[in-house]
Amino acid sequence: MRIKILEDLNNIHITSESMERRGNLMEDLSRYYTLLKDPTRRKIIEILGVQEKIGFKELRESLGLGVGTVYYHLDMLSDFLEQDKQRKYRLNAKGQMLYRVLKEGSVPASLGISETISHRAAKWLFLSPLFALTVKPLKFLPISFAILILGAYGASIARLEPALFFYFEYSNRSPPSIAVLFIFNWIGLFLFAEALANILFKRFGNDLQLFTCIGLAALPLAAFPYIYVTVPTFLELLNLYSWELVENLRQVILIILQIWTLLLVSAAACYGKGLRLDKGIILGLTAMYLNIAILFILGRFT
């Protein structure tokens, strides 16, 4: 009897280990599949699988993509790559397994590759399709400038003093000064993001694409002054006007746009400097916290 109990316990232990290994395998395969959904990353794995190792310049020429975009995909694949003494990229042991998964098509069909609604929503929340096009930044540079100019003009007519992620009502500055301050805030953010990416993540160059992406990221806060001046009219049309409601609605809208802008700044760092999203968010949060700290020091928050 005692022997049978021990055997049963041993079988249970083996079964649990098998289930755990299977669960880990499925988790790994699921992660592989997430990575392989992107055609650029599939192509990188294929190139490295065939050529064994390749330099960054040669890889970029093979892909036909910008520096920041290639760095972004290499960063996404960082757990599966390594570099030799000549700084050439090659697959590590996990990367070779990933290549076999790709080559043999051994990913379970149950994982599926169809893009979910939440994934599509996240892409547009971060404006990923738009940022992806900035690989040729000169085409989008005029749009970035237009966003900054519209934001500067809106802040000046609304008499909102800009402080990067924040606005202060009833500014004593002249409208031209407010407009210049808005543009300078975002130029300062670009310089800060450039410096931080260099220091923390050793990402150099690709400045024009980063500036273009930062300009695009300013869109929500550039739109806020126009929303600010139209809120009273909107509430009057609904017969809901009260000064308290106007102020509350403005604050809620500003908070939503601040959060969206933070996400876009993070995405701008991803595409402009080829960083993974987690690193881009670190950069965006650092910028916001520094913005808040400076405003506290200046006594703008009471």
| 184-214 confidence digits (pLDDT tens) | 999 999 999 999 999 998 888 889 999 999 9
Higher pLDDT, 128 or 198: 198
The pLDDT score that the predictor gives to residue 112 is 44
Query: pLDDT grade, residue 38 (50/70/90)?
Result: confident
| pLDDT tens readout for residues 278-302 | 889 999 999 999 999 999 999 988 6
- One DSSP character per residue, 185-236 reads HHHHHHHHHHHHHHHHH-----HHHHHHHHHHHTHHHHHHHHHHHHHHHHHH
Residue 107 binned pLDDT confidence (cut-offs 50, 70, 90): low
Task: From 172, 174, 153, select the one nearest 226 (Cα to Cα).
Answer: 153
| Tokens read off for 295 | 């405003």
Structural domains for the chain: 2-114 (1.10.10.10), 123-297 (no CATH)
Q: Which of 90-99, 137-146, 193-202, 238-247 has the lowest mean pLDDT?
A: 90-99
Predicted confidence at residue 178, as pLDDT, reads 97
Local confidence band at 153 (pLDDT 50, 70, 90 cut-offs): very high
| pLDDT over threshold 70, residue 105 | no
Q: Is the predicted pLDDT of residue 1 greater than 70, yes or no?
A: no
How far is C-alpha 142 from the chain's CA centre?
A: 22
Q: What is the pTM (predicted TM-score) of this model? A: 0.76
Whether the per-residue pLDDT at 30 is higher than 70: the answer is no
- Asked which of 44-48, 73-77, 144-148, 223-227 is least confident by mean pLDDT, the reply is 73-77
Average pLDDT over residues 222-245: 95
Instruction: Please state the rounded mean pLDDT for residues 76-96.
Output: 87
> pLDDT band for position 96 (50/70/90)?
confident
Please state whether 127 falls in left (phi above 0), alpha (psi between -120 and 50) or beta. left
Residue 9 pLDDT: 39
Label residue 28 by pLDDT band (50, 70, 90).
Answer: low
